[in-house]
């Protein structure tokens, strides 16, 4: 018999149907409200007929009951084969266009073959990640994405899965364009529009901070607009998890134009680095360039460290005051150092914002991107959308297994994620 005990452990007793099953196939197991996702070192491990306890906290799982479920071997066998047939795979999607590229792979517009829903699928090459020793950042990104599902201004994760050589994130598809794209076209935004975007960004950062997550890479390229004109924050690869309100970290990371002085000086820094970055982005929206920008990186770093902030009078007094608070070089005096997001929320600059309406997406965006439908790619860079879509993204049958491929295959345990069956692909 197979028993599921409350939240803490389950017991395989005697021989069981998963004994010789490749655990990577046991992607989704649903039992009367219990949804488990497991990979190698998860529910498919061989126990060789011995009584073995498994701690569920070592698995990636969603648990929706508190009671014991008892199922027979026959039902367990049946569920195992359901796992085999229902596992999400690359070939479940039609890959239509490349819409972005990064250090480790590509982002594609994809359509699920059964539901015809559109998603952004981020496909990453394991070999490149391992070569650059970036496994922790990828797993951190997955972890943060798992926590974003209910926030209106953070991109949502629907599925994550892997093949021998690739990792896949199935994300919300957002086609209103990057904030960077719109800034390039319009150069500056009027203050009400910049305030609206800054408010939605601040609420997203405040939410991450409440989960002890520091974003660390806020820039216009990571800020998307959806088809209605709302902000969607994406790309969580540089996030730092587990940072308490008074905690600090020292990793040097970010994007040159938006680095805070304490990061440049390789000093300990805290969550106020995100408020510095928000100040830099807000400044760029209002003035057209980041506050200390120079084409010469060394000169720009020197400006960030030593140059005084210049605020021209075409911005309101409240706007200039907010920028001075956010772009304070001494992090111990920076706006947000005491009460984090609340200090921004109650700042005079944001007094026109009804925050409850903002979170409910009831405020009409000041700009709505011109989009006719999900396949309208006019706000994506043609440099990407004109690239051919490689069949290797979804065809793994002809993969040549080398030692590096074997190493990559098992390097990301616990990566796969799927929602409960009744929520899948909604």
Residue 263 lies in a domain: yes
Same domain, 77 and 192: no
Residue 229 lies in a domain: yes
- Model-level pTM? 0.78
Identified catalytic residue from 165, 217, 226, 235: 217
Q: Which of 332, 359, 386 is the last residue of a domain?
A: 359
The total number of structural domains that make up the chain: 3
What was the pLDDT predicted at 403?
54
Beta bridge mates, 168: 123, 161
Same domain, 273 and 320: yes
The structure tokens listed for 240 are: 């730092």
Q: Are strands 9-12 and 60-63 parallel, antiparallel or unpaired?
A: unpaired
CA–centroid distance for 310 within its chain: 34
Same domain, 151 and 297: no
- Residue 391's pLDDT band, with cuts at 50, 70 and 90, is confident
Residue 371 lies in a domain: no
Residues at the binding site are: 131
Distance, CA of 7 to CA of 211 (rounded, Å):
22
Same domain, 295 and 345: yes
What was the pLDDT predicted at 395?
64
Residue 262 lies in a domain: yes
Same domain, 205 and 354: yes
Instruction: Give the domain CATH number at 325.
Output: 1.10.510.10
Same domain, 232 and 256: yes
Same domain, 237 and 384: no
Residues at the binding site for ATP are: 131
Tell me which of 285 and 381 has the higher pLDDT.
285
Residue 399 lies in a domain: yes
Same domain, 155 and 185: no
What was the pLDDT predicted at 171?
96
For residue 126, the enclosing domain spans 90-174+376-423
What was the pLDDT predicted at 323?
99
pLDDT tens per residue, range 191-239: 999 999 999 999 999 999 999 999 999 999 999 999 999 999 999 999 9
Residue 369 lies in a domain: no
Same domain, 54 and 168: no
The structure tokens listed for 395 are: 């065809």
Place of tokens 């405020």: 363
Q: Among this protein's residues, is 397 annotated catalytic?
A: no
């Amino acid at each position: 018999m197979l028993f599921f005990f409350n939240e803490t452990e389950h017991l395989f007793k005697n021989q069981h149907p998963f004994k010789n099953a490749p655990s990577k196939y046991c992607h989704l197991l649903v039992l009367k409200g219990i949804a488990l996702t497991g990979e190698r070192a998860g529910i498919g491990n061989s126990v060789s007929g011995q009584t073995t306890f498994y701690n569920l906290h070592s698995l990636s799982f969603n648990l929706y009951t508190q009671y014991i479920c008892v199922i027979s071997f026959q039902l367990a066998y049946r569920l195992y084969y359901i796992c085999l047939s229902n596992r999400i795979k690359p070939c479940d999607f039609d890959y239509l266009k490349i819409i972005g590229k990064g250090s480790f792979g590509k982002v594609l517009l994809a359509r699920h073959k059964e539901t015809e829903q559109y998603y952004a699928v981020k496909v990453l090459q394991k070999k490149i990640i391992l070569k650059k020793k970036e496994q922790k950042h990828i797993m951190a990104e997955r972890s943060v994405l798992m926590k974003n599902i209910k926030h209106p201004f953070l991109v949502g994760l629907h599925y994550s899965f892997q093949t021998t050589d690739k990792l896949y994130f199935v994300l919300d598809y957002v086609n209103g364009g990057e904030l960077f794209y719109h800034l390039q076209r319009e150069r500056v935004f009027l203050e009400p529009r910049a305030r609206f975007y800054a408010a939605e960004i601040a609420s997203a950062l405040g939410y991450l901070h409440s989960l002890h997550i520091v974003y660390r890479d806020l820039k216009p390229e990571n800020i998307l607009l959806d088809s209605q004109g709302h902000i969607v924050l994406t790309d969580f690869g540089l996030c730092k998890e587990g940072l308490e309100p008074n905690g600090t970290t020292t990793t040097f990371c970010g994007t040159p134009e938006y680095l805070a002085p304490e990061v440049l000086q390789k000093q300990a820094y805290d969550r106020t680095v995100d408020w510095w970055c928000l100040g830099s982005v807000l400044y760029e929206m209002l003035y057209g360039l980041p506050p200390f920008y120079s084409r010469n990186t060394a000169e720009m770093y020197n400006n960030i460290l030593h140059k005084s902030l210049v605020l021209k009078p075409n911005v309101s007094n409240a706007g200039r005051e907010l920028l001075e608070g956010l772009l304070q070089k001494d992090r111990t005096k920076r706006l947000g150092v005491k009460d984090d997001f609340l200090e921004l929320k109650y700042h005079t600059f944001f007094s026109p914002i009804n925050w409850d309406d903002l979170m409910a997406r009831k405020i009409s965006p000041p700009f709505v991107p011109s989009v006719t439908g999900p396949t309208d790619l006019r706000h994506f860079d043609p440099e990407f959308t004109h690239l051919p879509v490689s069949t290797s993204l979804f065809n793994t049958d002809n993969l040549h297994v080398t030692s590096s491929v074997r190493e990559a295959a098992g390097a990301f345990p616990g990566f796969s994620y799927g929602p409960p069956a009744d929520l899948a692909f909604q």
